[in-house]
Amino acid sequence: MMRKATGPMRLVLLLPALGACFVGSSATARCEPTRARAFLEANGLEAYNGRCIDYLVCVIRNEPEKAAEIHIGSVNPGADENTKQGIRRMTTQAAALLTRAAVSEIELVAAHRVSSKAVALCYVLNTDHGPILFAFGAYRHKDRWYSYSWDLRTEFREIREHLRGTIRFDEPAAFAVEPVKEKSV
């Protein structure tokens, strides 16, 4: 039995080990050319972005097992079982949060360049209950991007604070999400 959340939720998962490259792109999402798309292409982040979108679409569709496997496939193949269990647990919590909200689109709204080899991409899920921010961290080793963290925030003040200091895209890359079903309020 799932209990209803009474306040804002914040999930943070730090992955201590680097791992397998982000590959693939979402067949269920489309993106219009924007400054955000140009940033992805200029930094070789298209596959990483595709993996993030695939993950988010699975979470939105309440497929936490599939979403968790997408994320686990992006970390070090030698990652310990505790890391994998943490990903599964937090993905299940994120999917549970979204069962009460209808998501209309995913927007890549900002990026934060930590260094020449580390970035965070910030996505906002536009829902009928308000925005939800997902931030994914990636580290580049040689020519491949690896996952090292992700963060979820639902409180508007925290979202604003999190986006401070990022490269903001005046025209976010919007990814349409096919409606799953009507969500109950």
Q: What is the pLDDT of residue 173?
A: 65
Q: Can you give the residue ranges of every domain in the chain?
A: 17-176
pLDDT of 14-65, one tens digit each? 332 222 222 223 333 444 457 888 888 889 999 889 989 999 999 999 999 9
Q: Output the average pLDDT for the chain.
A: 75
pLDDT of 111-124, one tens digit each? 888 888 999 999 99
pTM above 0.75?
Answer: no
d(CA 147, CA 20): 8
Beta strands per DSSP E along the chain:
10-14, 103-115, 118-127, 130-141, 144-153, 167-176
CATH number of the domain located at residue range(s) 17-176 in this protein: 3.10.450.50
Residue 66 confidence (pLDDT) above 90: yes
